[in-house]
Amino acid sequence: MDPRTTGLGLGQLLLALDRTMVTLIDAPRGLDMPVGSVALVDTDDVRLGLAVGPGSADMFFLLGVSDADAVRWLERQFTGAGRVPAAVFVKEPSDTIVERAVAMGAAVVAVEPRARWESLYRLVNHAFDHHGDRGDPLHDPGADLFGLAQSIADRTRGMISIEDEDSHVLAYSASNDEADELRRLTILGRAGPPEHLAWIGQWGIFDALRSSADVVHVAERPELGLRPRLAIGVHVPDAIAPRGSRFAGTIWLQQGSAPLADDVDDVLRGGAVLAARIMSRLSASPATHTRQVRELLGLSGDDVDVATLARELGIATDGRAALVGFTDPGCPAPPDVIALSAGAFRADAQIASDSGRVYVLLPQTGAPSSVMSWARGVVSTLDRELGRSLRAVVAAPLAGLAAAANARAEVDRVLDSAARHPGAIGRVTSLADARTTVLLDEIVAQVAAQPRLVDPRVRQLREQDRVLADTLGAYLDGFGDIAAVAAHLHVHPNTVRYRVRRIEKLLSTSLADPDDRLVLALGLRATEA
């Protein structure tokens, strides 16, 4: 993203994020430095030398990087490069990191230790996209969620947070010393204390917010450290929803010591209307950049002009490209966190998500092995830091962007096959390594879907003698090697010979015939429980 199009300076960004999330340590070049992009650098990036510093982003999040490694990374990436980042974001930065970064000209921002990096990334990018310059007389405070949150806070004399339907914070107003623990943890991306959430849920507050447009008053609970709250649901028009609208999120108002405005309920109702308009507009009109990347990957649009899309995205059409698809069997893959690492790996990385999967398009890459190493690093980091069990499939090299859509379809085939048979494909694999497994899986699926293609003798054998059926499968998979099959089944070789003779008699066939072996093997796989 070009910072010139955002009109956002480092100081404005820090004000938007608020001291709940970040604290400025030092800014040697001032707070007017333009910022418009951010990337993550983690321990694997540093260890494997994958992080590309100059030009990757305006700001960097240093996730889990030790003090010594952080200093070495700064010196290696930016000394003599002619460009230094506007800022580095670090949890509990040491004096050494601050001193070295400031000497280079980079601001140092301390991130609250309890903050989740993915939540910070989401808020930063939301600020880039939708946080206007409030000093501009033409700025409309109802045009972005951050501005709306602050406007409601100013008007009601409370502290505002706006959340989506899954209780993820989208924007919030400035906090003061009266913010309670629930507000702080919510903004930091952490779940509120269990006793707080249990109490709120017990009283049916969430149900009330989802089912009506009324303002809900939540009484103070001193014993839980909860200050008084007001809340209202945000409902956006939806023709297929039961009531003609669907629940899209919540506006929460935490009261401090100052009395709230007399018409606070009316202000919240008006705020919910404006929030609904903003959310509806954002969901109905994806960013041009996002739409273009989706078109390149064949996720939308039929008649795609690759050259024009590449020119508008500012990326190379030709050259060796790569595509990496990520999925998480348990839940949707986190696009924000993956985008962080992709931006650090390659400044021209393009991200798109669809149906819970995240795709990273790398227009120009080096050896495919470097892309595989990066993908392994992402999977390893998210497993270690966030407890996520991602899978990744790498398609590389590609003959330019024209091959991206077909590569995405092939990546999906591998991910679909891995979903059906999790143990058959590694957590990080390439199209080439997975090709045989995927083709066999798809062939077997076709056979299983048409019972007439399964040799009836296979079904009969399974029904009559499961042990013989398992022996036949092991025999076919072991290419008839009696010793290997016996070791696999933990029986004597003579037992295997005896069972094979019985199988041949029951099936009235010879297992020496290659055609029979193929038909029987497919039938066995297609009828596996």
Work out the angle at residue 214's Cα, subtended by the Cα atoms of residues 213 and 220, and round it to the nearest 5 degrees.
135
The CATH homologous superfamily to which domain 8-132 belongs is: HprK N-terminal domain-like (3.40.1390.20)
Residues of the chain with CATH 3.40.1390.20: 8-132
Residue 19 has a pLDDT of 81
Question: Across residues 372-384, what is the average pLDDT?
Answer: 88
> Where does the pLDDT of residue 322 fall: very low under 50, low under 70, confident under 90, or very high at 90 and above?
very high
Backbone angles phi, psi at 303, to 5 degrees: -100, 95
* Most confident listed range (198-212, 278-292, 320-334): 320-334
Bridge partner list, 159: 254
Residues of the chain with CATH 3.30.70.270: 298-439
Residues of the chain with CATH 1.10.10.2840: 450-526
Residue 4 has a pLDDT of 35
Residue 287, pLDDT > 70, answer: no
Fold of 145-284: Beta-Lactamase (3.30.450)
Residue 259 has a pLDDT of 92
Residue 48 has a pLDDT of 65
Residue 21, pLDDT > 80, answer: yes
The CATH homologous superfamily to which domain 298-439 belongs is: Reverse transcriptase/Diguanylate cyclase domain (3.30.70.270)
Residue 196 has a pLDDT of 67
Q: Residue 513 in 3-state DSSP?
A: coil
Work out the angle at residue 189's Cα, subtended by the Cα atoms of residues 186 and 195, and round it to the nearest 5 degrees.
45
The Cβ of residue 180 has, within 10 Å, a number of other Cβ atoms equal to 23
> Where does the pLDDT of residue 229 fall: very low under 50, low under 70, confident under 90, or very high at 90 and above?
very high
Residue 321 has a pLDDT of 93
What does the alpha-carbon distance between residue 345 and residue 338 come to, in Å, rounded to a whole number? 11
Over the stretch 60-92, which tens digit does the pLDDT of each residue have? 998 888 888 888 888 888 877 678 889 999 999
Candidates 1.10.10.10, 3.40.120.10, 1.10.10.2840, 3.40.50.300; CATH matching 450-526:
1.10.10.2840
Residue 462, pLDDT > 70, answer: yes
Structure tokens, 355: 């149906």
> Where does the pLDDT of residue 253 fall: very low under 50, low under 70, confident under 90, or very high at 90 and above?
very high
Over the stretch 130-185, which tens digit does the pLDDT of each residue have? 655 444 433 444 457 887 888 899 889 999 999 888 788 888 888 877 888 888 88
Residue 51, pLDDT > 60, answer: no
Which 8-state DSSP code applies to residue 356? Answer: T
> Where does the pLDDT of residue 392 fall: very low under 50, low under 70, confident under 90, or very high at 90 and above?
very high
Q: Residue 26 half-sphere exposure, CB side, CA atoms within 13 Å?
A: 15
> Where does the pLDDT of residue 232 fall: very low under 50, low under 70, confident under 90, or very high at 90 and above?
very high
Structure tokens, 104: 């280079």
Residue 394, pLDDT > 90, answer: yes
Structure tokens, 486: 């016996």
Structure tokens, 477: 């998979």
User: What totals of helices (H) and strands (E) does the chain contain, helices first?
Assistant: 21, 15
